[in-house]
């Protein structure tokens, strides 16, 4: 039994490969390395003692993608992370985002049918909810038009999975809707490796404290929140990785209640940007230099998860405290040194 992890050298993918291996699964990674480094395989091996099989492949190329399944005949399940995922970048590059993210999932599902691989876990996002009218969001919260082509690709991918599940009911699929993944493996062997200037909050904070960036810009403090800054549900990367192992096990054990299921993978707690900065400073003893600036286009005001369904039905719950996630992120940044990635 082997799990194919597409995008497995990425931030979430690499942490998931570690948890899969530690749960006893064999893994093969397929990645085009457009947004990650091959050295991540060393980090994974340093943690688990097992170097995962690796195939460098562009998943928008169906011929090359089929070769993975012809070579690894023991693939019984797929966790599909591979996608372009920079919200801001997607606004200026819609064709690249739709072309890459939509064609790669279509090729994945096509291969599932051709090679009879019946278990599929998809990396989705809370972005599909947009700015929800009622908080916290449940899996039944209506999806809203995404604020970016990136977010729209996630919603479209879920629609494709839904229609595929209806047409071919022998496949079992789960979409995990993540909130904000943060932190790093406690070993500091793997972590987030943003390309260029980080879009996301935590790597920008750690690079600022490391002296790589001058100061953090807090994008607006005039929102309708207690301290005026936006609220998010920050989930530890190892907790998130474990949710994928639980989901794939559910499918392999045929415990799914329908052939497509959706789960909110968050902590259930909303945290503002200023609260996060304060938590980081307390956890690390380091000051975060910041200034308040204008809002960032496309940002929503607040979102956090109702995790009742994932806790009860999936049997998964986030456990790592925010302070520990932030300390791990900082330890990882110290390990990276002052590299400008
Ligand atoms: C978090 C908060 C910013 C940077 C995105 C995607 C989502 C998921 C996670 C992939 C916001 C504020 C940020 C900065 C700031 N990605 N911020 N200064 O936008 O909530 O979610 O990444 O799955 O799908 O939408 O994450 O980390 O960019 O922002 O003030 O330099 O931090 O305004 O309130 P976001 P983020």
The predicted structure's pLDDT at residue 107: 98
- Mutating to test ligand 1, I would choose from 125, 197, 201 the residue with most ligand atoms within 8 A of its C-beta, which is 201
Looking at the CA of residue 231, tell me the nearest atom of ligand 1. Answer: 34
Convert the pLDDT of each residue in 101-111 to its tens digit.
999 999 999 99
Distances from the Cα of 152 to the Cαs of 126, 147, 233, in angstroms?
A: 11, 8, 20
Atom index in ligand 1 nearest the CA of residue 126 equals 24
- Record the tokens describing residue 239, joined without a space: 């907790």
- Which letter, b or e, does each residue of 102-130 get, where b requires 16 or more Cβ atoms within 10 Å of its Cβ? bbbbbbbbebbeeeebbbbbbbbbbbbbb
Q: Which is it for strands 2-6 and 75-80: parallel, antiparallel or unpaired?
A: parallel
Q: Tell me what pLDDT residue 298 has.
A: 85
Q: Which residue's CA is the nearest one to ligand 1's atom 13?
A: 201
Q: For the chain, give the number of residues.
A: 341
pLDDT of the residue at 339: 53
Q: Which two tokens stand for residue 293?
A: 């600036």
Please, are residues 177 and 235 in contact by the beta-carbon 8 Å criterion? Answer: no
Give the residue ranges of the chain where pLDDT is below 50: 341
**Contact, 222 vs 301, CB < 8 A?**
no
Q: Is 125 in the pocket of ligand 1 (CB under 6 A)?
A: yes
Task: Report how far ligand 1's centroid is from the alpha carbon of 74 (Å).
Answer: 38
- Looking at the whole model, is its pTM more than 0.85? yes
């Amino acid at each position: 039994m082997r799990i194919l992890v597409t995008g497995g050298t990425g931030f979430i993918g690499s942490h998931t490969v570690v948890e899969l291996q530690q749960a006893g699964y064999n893994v093969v990674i397929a990645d085009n390395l457009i947004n990650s480094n091959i050295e991540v395989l060393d980090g994974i091996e340093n943690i688990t003692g097992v170097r995962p099989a690796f195939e460098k492949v562009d998943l928008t190329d169906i011929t090359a993608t089929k070769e993975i399944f012809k070579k690894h005949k023991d693939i019984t399940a797929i966790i599909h992370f591979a996608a372009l995922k920079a919200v801001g970048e997607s606004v200026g590059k819609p064709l690249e985002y739709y072309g890459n993210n939509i064609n790669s999932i279509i090729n994945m599902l096509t291969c599932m049918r051709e090679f009879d691989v019946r278990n599929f876990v998809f990396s989705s996002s809370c972005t599909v909810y947009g700015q929800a009218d009622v908080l916290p969001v449940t899996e039944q919260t209506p999806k809203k038009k995404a604020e970016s082509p990136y977010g729209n690709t996630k919603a479209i991918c879920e629609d494709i999975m839904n229609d595929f599940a209806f047409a071919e009911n022998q496949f079992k699929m789960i979409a995990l809707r993540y909130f904000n993944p943060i932190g790093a493996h406690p070993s500091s062997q793997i972590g987030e490796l943003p390309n260029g200037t980080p879009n996301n909050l935590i790597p920008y904070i750690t690079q600022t404290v490391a002296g790589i960036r001058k100061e953090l810009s807090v994008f607006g403090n005039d929102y309708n929140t207690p301290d005026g800054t936006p609220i998010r549900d920050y989930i530890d990367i190892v907790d998130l990785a474990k949710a994928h192992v639980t989901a794939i096990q559910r499918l392999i054990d045929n415990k799914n209640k329908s052939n497509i299921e959706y789960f909110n993978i968050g902590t259930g707690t909303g945290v503002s940007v200023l609260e996060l900065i304060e938590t980081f400073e307390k956890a690390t003893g380091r000051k975060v230099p910041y200034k308040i600036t204008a809002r960032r286009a496309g940002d929503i005001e607040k979102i956090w998860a109702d995790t009742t369904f994932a806790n009860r039905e999936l049997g998964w719950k986030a456990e790592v405290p925010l302070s520990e996630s932030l300390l791990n992120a900082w330890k990882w940044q110290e390990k990276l040194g002052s590299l400008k990635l």
